[in-house]
């Protein structure tokens, strides 16, 4: 678990050094992080970063105006938004993206795995600000991407599990083993397979409707071969979709139809742009603004990324890339990720493992596609990537995604307290209870029950559960559980 978490601190074991005292010499020495909250400081730091073309640095700020000022001066640094308050998780995600950050840093005490999972489904990197040891465990068990704070010793953090929640499973063009790709039926099948996302492709018609199809014409998957950009929606929907050569009842779906189809499910959308025009992005943004939860966007086309940022800036964006064929340098990938707030979606098969480690150290989300074999699926799942984009999404149908526990209890010495754990679908399980800080209160645990304690005070623990499947075994961890131990009044 800790291999996947970035530690930003002032200690030798940290991955990134937090500079408590900002000066030019320190900033230019190594991979560092700074915090800038005043507009005047943001202007000065922006000039310094521009002067030295220093893109490989993390800049934290509580001020949206400071983030905008820094971005205007120098758009290539990694900006992290750390608000004190926010109205909702959706608003928080849009605030971050609108202010040039694809990373948020929240107080650890406010975090849960449910919150972090939702924010990551919206495409955000999530850091936690920690002040004490229990904060660290609360953040780690919530599934954050990074820790930010003073005096964090990474070597002293010990948790016994792989995930707070499993990597996201993305059904490539829907689950289309029994349906046409990019069809509403394939989307429904993906929901049935409990996929976290349906990946689909969008085009724009002659009359500027956003429709879902991989190719720029319909011939491969429809009765007739109409060119989408040259025909109206009415004309395009006059013909039927086919599957294995047979006509179906479906017509060319709009993106809005997919949203309505998935609205009351737990499955979100990952939308690939097959066009890069500004007009298409403006129209896309109109459709996205009607959605009740933020989708993810991605494209192979550089101009699409630019226009995403310009016209659909409140949403997560991703860069599709084949690392073997694309000759961008590591620094180029880091710079465009920072400037355009990008997740990286590479073709899974490549030889640049060093690049993946570099991206991990900078908490750049990584979501491979093109996975087909059991070996590839297993390797990707256990690597802790953001998600897995595959035609084989059915292989993950019965996986447990996360554990559900009550996080606060009161226990009276001499009584018995049962700690119940369920899966994400509500099935009760019997996990292993792990007590933190070497069990200072002397808790006695038998069969998921606390039966005794030696001292009163606050105890901290969590539950682990090994999920065993025919594809892979992995261990989930629950949120941090706090037990207030008290002496009975009759003692």
DSSP-assigned states of every residue in 79-136: EEE--S--S-HHHHHHHHHHTT-SEEEEEGGG--HHHHHHHHHTT-EEEEE--SHHHH
- Assign residue 300 a region (left: φ > 0; alpha: ψ between -120 and 50; beta: otherwise): alpha
Give yes or no for a contact between 226 and 235, defined as CB atoms under 8 angstroms apart.
yes
pTM: 0.96
Among 258, 197, 251, 218, smallest CA distance to 386 is for 197
Among 295, 265, 252, smallest CA distance to 192 is for 265
Largest CA distance in the chain: 83
In this structure, what DSSP letter does residue 393 have?
A: G
The two three-digit tokens of residue 267, written as one number: 């499955």
CATH fold group of domain 403-487: Immunoglobulin-like (2.60.40)
The two three-digit tokens of residue 363, written as one number: 């908490």
Burial class (CB in 10 A: 0-12, 13-18, 19+), 124: buried
Give yes or no for a contact between 179 and 198, defined as CB atoms under 8 angstroms apart.
no
Among 54, 140, 139, 61, smallest CA distance to 96 is for 61
What do you get for the CA distance between the two ends of the chain, in Å? 42
Using the structure block, give the residue that is written with the tokens 């997560």: 316
Say yes or no: domain 2-156 is CATH 3.30.565.10: no
Give yes or no for a contact between 448 and 466, defined as CB atoms under 8 angstroms apart.
no
Among 22, 82, 84, 32, smallest CA distance to 54 is for 32
CATH fold group of domain 168-396: TIM Barrel (3.20.20)
Cα-Cα-Cα-Cα torsion 200, 203, 208, 211, nearest 10 degrees, comes to -40
Give yes or no for a contact between 362 and 334, defined as CB atoms under 8 angstroms apart.
yes
Give yes or no for a contact between 122 and 90, defined as CB atoms under 8 angstroms apart.
yes
Give CATH 3.20.20.190 domain extents, the chain.
2-156, 168-396
How many C-beta neighbours within 10 Å does residue 240 have? 15
Strand partners, 6: 146
Give yes or no for a contact between 2 and 140, defined as CB atoms under 8 angstroms apart.
yes
Contacts of 142 (CB under 8 A, 6+ apart): 108, 111, 112, 113, 115, 116, 128, 164, 479, 480
How many C-beta neighbours within 10 Å does residue 336 have? 19
Low-confidence spans in the chain with pLDDT less than 50: none
Among 109, 89, 93, smallest CA distance to 101 is for 93
Count how many residues are written for the chain: 491
Give yes or no for a contact between 267 and 197, defined as CB atoms under 8 angstroms apart.
yes
What value does the mean pLDDT of the chain take?
Answer: 95
- Give the Cα separation of 433 and 429 in Å (integer): 12
DSSP string, 425-473: TS-EE--EEEESTT-TT--EEETTEEEE-SS-EEEEEEEEEEEE-SS-E
CA distances to 115, 203, 241, 243, 448 from 219, in Å? 43, 15, 10, 12, 59
């Amino acid at each position: 678990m800790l291999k996947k978490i970035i530690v930003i601190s002032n200690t030798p074991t940290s991955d990134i050094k937090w500079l408590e005292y900002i000066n030019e010499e320190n900033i230019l020495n190594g991979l560092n992080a700074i915090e800038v909250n005043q507009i005047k400081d943001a202007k000065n730091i922006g000039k310094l970063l521009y002067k030295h073309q220093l893109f490989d640095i993390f800049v934290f700020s509580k001020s949206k105006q400071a983030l905008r000022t820094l971005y205007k001066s120098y758009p290539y640094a990694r900006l992290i938004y750390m608000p004190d308050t926010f109205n909702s998780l959706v608003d928080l995600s849009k605030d971050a993206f609108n202010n040039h950050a694809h990373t948020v840093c929240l107080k650890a005490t406010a975090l849960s795995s449910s919150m972090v999972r939702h924010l990551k489904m919206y495409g955000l990197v999530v850091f936690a600000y920690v002040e004490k040891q229990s904060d660290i465990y609360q953040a780690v068990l919530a599934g954050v991407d990074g820790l930010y704070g003073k005096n964090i010793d990474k070597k002293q953090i010990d948790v016994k599990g792989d995930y707070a929640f499993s990597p996201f499973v993305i059904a490539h063009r829907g689950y289309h083993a029994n349906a046409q790709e990019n069809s509403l039926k394939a989307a429904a099948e993906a929901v049935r397979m409990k996929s976290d996302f349906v990946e689909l492709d969008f085009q724009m018609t002659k009359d500027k409707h956003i429709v879902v199809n991989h190719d720029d014409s319909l011939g491969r998957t429809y009765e007739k071969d109409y060119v989408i950009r040259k025909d109206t929606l009415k004309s395009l929907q006059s013909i039927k979709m086919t599957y294995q050569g047979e006509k179906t009842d479906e017509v060319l779906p709009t993106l809005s139809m997919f949203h309505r189809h998935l609205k009351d499910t737990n499955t979100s959308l990952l939308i690939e742009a097959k066009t890069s025009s500004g007009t298409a992005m403006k129209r896309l943004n109109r459709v996205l603004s009607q959605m009740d939860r933020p989708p993810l966007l991605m494209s192979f086309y550089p101009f699409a990324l630019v226009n995403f940022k310009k016209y659909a800036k409140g949403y997560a964006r991703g860069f599709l890339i084949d690392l073997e064929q694309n000759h961008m340098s590591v620094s180029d990938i880091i710079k465009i990720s920072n400037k355009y707030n990008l997740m990286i979606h590479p073709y899974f098969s490549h030889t640049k493992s060093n690049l993946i480690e570099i991206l991990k150290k900078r908490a750049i989300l990584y979501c491979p596609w093109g996975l087909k074999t059991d070996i590839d699926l297993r390797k990707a799942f256990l690597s802790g990537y953001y998600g897995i984009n595959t035609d084989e999404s059915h292989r993950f149908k019965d996986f447990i995604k996360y554990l559900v526990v009550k996080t606060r209890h009161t226990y009276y010495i001499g009584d018995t307290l049962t700690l119940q754990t369920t899966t994400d679908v509500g099935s009760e399980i019997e996990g292993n209870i792990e007590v933190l800080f070497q069990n200072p209160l002397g808790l006695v645990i038998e069969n998921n029950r606390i039966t005794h304690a030696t001292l009163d005070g606050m105890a901290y623990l969590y539950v682990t559960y090994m999920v065993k499947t025919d594809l892979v075994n992995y261990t989930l961890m629950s949120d941090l559980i706090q037990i207030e131990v008290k002496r009975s009044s009759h003692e």
